[in-house]
Copies of this chain bind each other. A is one copy, B any other.
Amino acid sequence: MINNASKAAQEELKRKGYKLTGPRIAIINYLAESQEHPDMQQIFAGIRAEYPGIGMATVYRTLGLLLELDILRAITVNKNQLLYELKKPDDHHHHLVCTGCSQIIEFGSCSFKHISSEIETVTRYSIEDHTLEAYGLCPQCQGDFQVERG
């Protein structure tokens, strides 16, 4: 059960009629414990540590299921890297990716809602969602960069 996020995800799975199997619990626990934003390889490796018999196909299928059920969110950084995070209720945040060490932190400020209606008026689209990722150097890498230059 590990923590609240894990518990909520497991209950949601069950509520929607899916079986709570060993592999699924292991995957959900891994995601719930993970403080970073792991990619597929990290998830697979991390789960293997606790559940050695698991196969890649199961991880792919389970992540796909969790995404479909809106339990999991996928974000894309650096054009082609897919990362995952369990959804939390009412948590609208975006990601700030360090271009030096790839560390990712979350930020809550999002000004998109301020211009959303303007864009709707101009374009006549009805906007449902958006993604926003920012890139820059973290404090540590700013320091390293100073050192490199001497």
Using a CB–CB cutoff of 8 Å, the interface residues on chain A facing chain B are 74, 76, 79-80, 82, 96, 98-99, 105, 107, 109-112, 114-116, 118-120, 122-139, 142
Interface contact B122-A107, CB-CB below 8 Å: yes
- Cα distance, A137 to B80, chains bound together (Å): 25
- Cα distance, A35 to B122, chains bound together (Å): 20
Contacts of A127 in B (CB 8 A): 96, 134-136
- Cα distance, A120 to B52, chains bound together (Å): 42
Q: Please tell me which one of the listed residues B79, B118, B119, B135 contacts residue A128 in the complex, with CB atoms under 8 A apart.
A: B135
Interface contact A130-B130, CB-CB below 8 Å: no
Interface contact A142-B126, CB-CB below 8 Å: yes
Contacts of A129 in B (CB 8 A): 134-136
Interface contact A115-B109, CB-CB below 8 Å: yes
Contacts of A115 in B (CB 8 A): 109-111
Could you name 29 residue pairs across A and B whose Cβ atoms are closer than 8 Å?
A76-B80, A80-B80, A96-B123, A96-B125, A105-B125, A107-B119, A107-B123, A109-B118, A109-B119, A109-B122, A110-B115, A111-B111, A111-B112, A111-B115, A116-B134, A120-B136, A124-B138, A125-B134, A125-B137, A126-B136, A126-B137, A127-B134, A127-B136, A128-B136, A128-B137, A130-B133, A130-B134, A130-B135, A132-B132
